[in-house]
Copies of this chain bind each other. A is one copy, B any other.
């Protein structure tokens, strides 16, 4: 019997989950929930119902795991606790500073509902977090570094688009190669914000806009750009659509540490991702953790979990015997 998945929120992430389910033979897309008029939403899978979000309250018998595909700013802080009372849920809540309070709220709801919830699933938080934890536990005498990119930052792109005279914009976060190399060499450098990443912006300006002013507003924008070396390129709408329509991302988690009675030996652990599509990859992680939530719930485990709490075997459709034989 397949694991019946519900998708709650049908944007880039929801469409990614829809595609990812097709790669997993033990799963079945059961329903998609949207706050829009369901009749206006065209999905990619045949014979699957699209329902208004309010209907989710009534379909608890049909769905084994609900994957929440809303945003961390305003959607998930209310949606995940609300739905965790009714369903096993997965979300990709990624506001690092607010994870503890989100965890508390979801834990309370899932415990009350007798459901399993897994929050902050994706690649960062998610796979990068796992790698920080494994590496720190193995090399306690060491230091870890996270670099992001090369990839599109949605938040920074949005910030540029809000500037007067900007028609469209895309911002790439780029790790500084020399900083990466210094970390990989095991030198444990102290790196400032500016030394770790640069920001490259591709901007389509409106006709007659003051390019100098736009560039200056970008480069001096506090929090977003002022602390970075930022490059601004003004390009045509055609070039923008041809070369900057994707949502690639990726990054690196590197830990260097020392072992030996006299700290004489150095070790470098590096994990990296290079992703053509940030939302599709995040969706693929969500789907794997949906399998884990289903299994943990079947075993009677209740409450809120994170990637740290999930035995890796629960992510695989294979049996314990199969994974020991083929992957160990």
A272 interface residue per 8 A CB criterion: yes
- How many Å lie between the Cα of A228 and that of B120 in the bound state? 45
The tally of residues in A whose CB lies under 8 Å from a CB in B reads 71
The segment from A55-63, A172-180, A281-289 found at the interface with B is A281-289
A129 interface residue per 8 A CB criterion: yes
Chain A 118-135, CB within 8 Å of chain B: the 1/0 string?
001000010101111110
A231 interface residue per 8 A CB criterion: no
Copies in the complex: 2
Chain B residue with minimal CB distance to A185?
B274
A266 touches B276 (CB 8 A): yes
B129 touches A328 (CB 8 A): yes
A141 touches B23 (CB 8 A): yes
Q: Which residues does chain B contribute within 8 Å of A316, judged by CB atoms? A: 133, 136-137, 308
Using a CB-CB cutoff of 8 Å, which residues 58-98 of chain A contact chain B?
Answer: 96
A1 interface residue per 8 A CB criterion: no
Q: Which residues does chain B contribute within 8 Å of A315, judged by CB atoms? A: 133-134, 137-138
Q: Which residues does chain B contribute within 8 Å of A264, judged by CB atoms? A: 276
Q: Which residues does chain B contribute within 8 Å of A320, judged by CB atoms? A: 308-309
A273 touches B268 (CB 8 A): yes
- How many Å lie between the Cα of A136 and that of B312 in the bound state? 11
B281 touches A259 (CB 8 A): yes
Chain A 281-324, CB within 8 Å of chain B: the 1/0 string?
10111001001000000000000001111111101110011011
Q: Which residues does chain B contribute within 8 Å of A261, judged by CB atoms? A: 15, 18-19, 22, 44
From A96, A125, A276, name the one whose CB has the most chain B CB atoms within 10 angstroms: A276
Q: Assuming A138-B285, A321-B100, is B280 touching A259 (CB within 8 A)?
A: yes
B311 touches A309 (CB 8 A): yes
A208 interface residue per 8 A CB criterion: no
A3 interface residue per 8 A CB criterion: no
Chain A 6-18, CB within 8 Å of chain B: the 1/0 string?
0000000001101
Q: Which residues does chain B contribute within 8 Å of A328, judged by CB atoms? A: 96, 99, 120, 125, 129, 306-308
- From B129, B267, B277, B308, contact of A273 by CB (8 A): B267
Using a CB-CB cutoff of 8 Å, which residues 253-281 of chain A contact chain B?
Answer: 259-261, 264-277, 280-281
A20 interface residue per 8 A CB criterion: yes
Chain B residue with minimal CB distance to A248?
B265
Chain B residue with minimal CB distance to A140?
B23
A24 interface residue per 8 A CB criterion: yes
A139 interface residue per 8 A CB criterion: yes
Q: Which residues does chain B contribute within 8 Å of A265, judged by CB atoms? A: 275-277, 280-281
B259 touches A267 (CB 8 A): no
A225 interface residue per 8 A CB criterion: no
Q: Assuming A134-B315, A141-B23, is B288 touching A260 (CB within 8 A)?
A: no
Nearest chain B CB to A22's CB is how many angstroms away?
A: 8
20 contacts between A and B (CB under 8 A): A18-B261, A20-B259, A129-B327, A132-B327, A133-B315, A133-B327, A134-B315, A136-B316, A137-B315, A138-B281, A259-B277, A259-B284, A265-B277, A266-B276, A269-B272, A269-B273, A270-B274, A308-B311, A308-B320, A309-B312
